[in-house]
Amino acid sequence: MGVAIKAKFGKGKKKYNGLDNIEGLLLEKPHEERYVVARIRTVRTSIDYEHGSVETPTVNFEHIEVMLSEMEIKDAKRLFENACRARLGEMPQATLFDDADDGAESEGE
């Protein structure tokens, strides 16, 4: 089982897609991670009868806000790390991008 994700903001709901406000930043720095706060809801559940009646919910992103200020980013990162530890028991391992970022920071110091 998994969760399907739908994220389409129609004409009347475009204002709830905070990612639109940072379109330029996403293009300029495509590898930079961003923290967001989002609100979702389940829009449907599909049932796969051929594989034991497995149910799969589909969620829709109803509202996305991007953390922009240093304080917002710091708070969101803390919440993210706490949630990861609560669910996974630890933080996920660093990616290649994390390793490259760490090296770039230490060289400049």
pLDDT tens-place values along the chain, 109 residues long: 689 998 889 899 999 999 999 999 999 999 999 999 999 999 999 999 999 999 999 999 999 999 999 999 999 999 999 999 999 998 777 665 555 444 444 444 3
Q: Which residue has the tokens 């706060």?
A: 37
Q: Are 59 and 41 in contact (CB under 8 A)?
A: yes
pLDDT of residue 92: 73
Residues 77 and 92: their CA atoms lie apart, in Å, by: 13
Residues 95 and 36: their CA atoms lie apart, in Å, by: 19
Calculate the alpha carbon distances from 77 to 10, 34, 81, 84 in Å. 29, 10, 6, 10
Q: Are 76 and 67 in contact (CB under 8 A)?
A: yes
